[in-house]
Structures are given as structure tokens and as C-alpha cells.
Chains A and B, each alone.
Chain A
Amino acid sequence: MLAEWSFVGVFLVIALAFPPLGLVTAWLLRPKRPGPIKKSTYECGLETVGDTWVQFKVQYYIYALIFVIFDIEIAFLLPWAVAHMGLSAAQGILPLIEVVIFVGILVAGLMYAWRKGALEWI
């Protein structure tokens, strides 16, 4: 079993090594002549305005909430999708009907969010 996970481990090591490697390489290669302009915060090339800690709009939060709910839905649908072929052979259309009910209930939720304008950017 763990052999299957070894490539995840390889990815993990590469991913963890990547950012420090880039920084270290840059630190080794770059010329070092700091100035007040160079040390200022970079924001689209313009001068920075205000604090970096700003309050977010509630709209972000509602997006995130709706995202979490459909994320969980996906997590539940995955095992169904994997098992679907075997089950359909044995039980015909029933597994499909069951998942249609599952998704249908959540479509009602999507419809609700849409009609309430929760998906609009304000």
C-alpha cells in the first residue's frame, strides 16, 4: 500500500524544497545594493496606500461558505462514482436514482443561493 504513496512523498519533498531553493539561488546570484525605494513594499508598481490588514467584504465569506458545502458534496460523490460501475451492473438504474436525489436536493440549495443573489458580486 505504502508503495503507492511513495510518489506522494516524492512530490511532498519537491514541493517543500522548491520555495527555499528559489530563494537561496536568488540570494546567491543577486547583486546586493539596497536602497529605500527598493526596500518599500511592492504593490502593482504604485505607492502603497493604507494598511495591509484590511477588512474583507462579507460577500467573500458567503462564497467561501457555499464553496465548502459543494466541496463536501464532491467528497460524497467520489465514492459513489468509483463504485458506480459495479453497482449498476448489479442493480440497474437504482444507484443513479439515488445519486440524482442527492444532487437534486443540493441543486435546490444552489437555486436558492442564486435567486437570493448570493452569487452576485456586490
Chain B
Amino acid sequence: MNVFLTSIFVIVSVITLVGALGVVMARTVFASGLWLILSFAGVAGLYVLLEAPFLAAAQILIYVGAVAVLILFAVMLTRRVMGDPGVSQNNSQWGAAAVVAALMFIVLSLTSVQNWRPSTESPPLLAVNALGEAFLGPYLLPFEIVSVVLLVALVGAIILARE
């Protein structure tokens, strides 16, 4: 079973990383947007492996379903990008990228070789039911404020984007 899970993890990670690489290396912004969807889907798979089904569903619903569409629309709105697909979309700063990647690798590897003590506490709220109870318990105020933030975002979108 463990080998099976690990192999699933590897597949999902590869999908995520290939998607992410595609985003930065694609020739057009539109193609970058499509690669991004692949990466989002891979992340949803990672959430499944972390036993967070609600997060996985939200990832599919919001990121793959809505945000990706929004990004593709935004690209298609831009005449200059649509008219000129030949321009490279990244500024080819491979040196800087290598430095950041190396730093990230060092940090992550140092973190993973630590002598971690397995937690004896019960895992945090991941079941949808517990999440709903938390929304109406300790996280009631943030829950309601999210609604106000969404309202402001809606109003702002109409002010800034409407012709």
C-alpha cells in the first residue's frame, strides 16, 4: 500500500511540476494559462493524498474551474498578446532562478533531515463536517468577514473592469 501511495504521489508531483514548468516556458501566455490548469489539477491530487478532500474539491471548483477560466479570458482580452504570439513570455533570468531554486532546495533538505518527533495530537480539522462547525464556532468572525471581502472584490471588479 505504501509503495502504491508513494507512486501516486510521484505521479501527481510530476504532473504539478511539469505544469509549473510549462507555465514559465510556454511560448504564448495562452499556453501558459493551459499549463497552469494542469498544475492546479496536480495540486488537487496532492490535497487528496494529504487527506483533505474538501480542499481538493475547492481546488478543482475554484482554481481549475473558475480562476483558470478567468486567466484565459484575461489573456484573450489583451489585443497585444493575442496579436503577437511570437514574443517570449519570460525574461530568461535563468541565473536568478537557479539561485532561488538552490536556496529553496537547501532550506527544504535541511528541514527534511531534521529529527522530527511524530505528533501525538489528533490531526487538525479536515473533514468537511468539522470545517463547517469551525466556521460557526471559533472562526465565525473570519467566516462573515470573508463575505465582506468578496463583496468588496465584486464592487472593485465592476468599477475597474467595466467600460
Contact = CB atoms under 8 A, between A and B. Distances in A.
Say if the two chains contact directly (CB < 8 Å). Answer: yes
Interface of A: 1-2, 5, 8, 53-58, 60-62, 64-69, 71-76, 78-84, 86-87, 91, 94-95, 98, 101-103, 105-106, 108-109, 112-113, 116, 118
Given A75-B58, A83-B132, A112-B155, A53 B82 contact: yes
Contact of A79 (B48, B132, B157): B132
A4 B7 CA distance: 18
Interface in B56-107: 57-58, 61-62, 65-67, 69-70, 73-74, 76-79, 82-83, 85
B61 A102 contact: no
A68 B162 CA distance: 16
B7 to A, nearest CB: 12
B120 interface: no
A58 B62 CA distance: 21
B136 A87 contact: yes
B162 A58 contact: yes
A98 B142 CA distance: 12
A76 B134 CA distance: 12
Given A55-B82, A79-B131, A72 B73 contact: no
B124 to A, nearest CB: 14
A2 to B, nearest CB: 7
A5 B48 CA distance: 8
Is the interface on chain B under 10, 10 to 19, 20 to 34, or 35 or more residues? 35 or more
B54 A86 contact: no
Nearest to A57: B77
Given A61-B77, A72-B62, A66 B157 contact: yes
A50 to B, nearest CB: 12
A113 B136 CA distance: 28
A98 B136 contact: yes
Contacts of A54: 76, 82
Interface string B107-121: 000000000000000
Nearest to B58: A75
Given A71-B61, A95-B136, A82 B129 contact: yes
- Residue among B58, B132, B153, B157 with the highest chain A CB neighbour number at 10 A: B132
A78 B128 contact: yes
B3 interface: no
Contacts of A62: 157-158, 161-162
Contacts of B140: 98
Nearest to A105: B147
